[in-house]
Amino acid sequence: MLLFLLMSSPAQAADLSLSSVSLDPCAQEDPGRQPEFSRPMGASCFVLSGMVNNPGRRSVVDTDVYARIMDASGEPVLQNRTRVGSIGDVEPGLHPFALRLSVPAGTPGPFEVKNPKARGFTAPVRTRVSEEDDLLPLEQNVALN
């Protein structure tokens, strides 16, 4: 029993650095734009993209991205939250990432991304249906720069 407890350590948090982070409107052909739902009081589709660096020797799993996104007047675009989305698993090394964000329509730009960072775990923290269950289906098709 003691050997089992020693070998099954809980998942530890791992911080990853982000670089070249930008926030751009979704492309016209992006399915996340959902043109049939666009209305004056709706939301606008944006893609937060950049590079994520995993300096370790092991994959970091269930990775979330955090950032403060400010509008032209210095107000937060996403009220009361800094978690902007999940990028799934990150292998060791430098990799591109991209995720969609919904910004309330009429929010004055340009936008500024402050304190971007990523945090994941050394072992899975959620149940997975399959190996491809790393990202949500819509997130699997976000165009990487």
Q: What is the DSSP letter of 66?
A: E
According to the model, what pLDDT value does residue 60 have?
A: 93
Q: How confident is the model at residue 2 (pLDDT cuts 50, 70, 90)?
A: very low
| Number of domains forming the structure of the chain | 1
Question: Is residue 106 one of the residues assigned to a domain?
Answer: yes
6 token code pair: 């020693």
Residue labelled with tokens 């899975």: 124
Give me the domain span that covers residue 55.
18-28+41-122
Question: Is residue 86 one of the residues assigned to a domain?
Answer: yes
Q: How does pLDDT run across 59-83, given as a tens digit for each residue?
A: 999 899 999 999 999 999 988 889 9
**CATH code for position 69:** 2.60.40
Question: Which contacts qualify for 71-77: CB closer than 8 Å, 24 or more apart?
Answer: 71/107, 71/108, 71/109, 71/111, 72/108, 72/109, 72/110, 72/111, 73/108, 77/103, 77/104, 77/107, 77/111
Q: How does pLDDT run across 91-124, given as a tens digit for each residue?
A: 999 999 999 998 888 889 899 999 999 999 987 7
pTM equals 0.74
Task: Quote the Cα angle for 24-85-45, to 5°.
Answer: 35
Q: How does pLDDT run across 14-38, given as a tens digit for each residue?
A: 899 999 999 999 887 766 565 555 4
Question: Is residue 33 one of the residues assigned to a domain?
Answer: no
φ and ψ of 46, to 5 deg: -130, 155
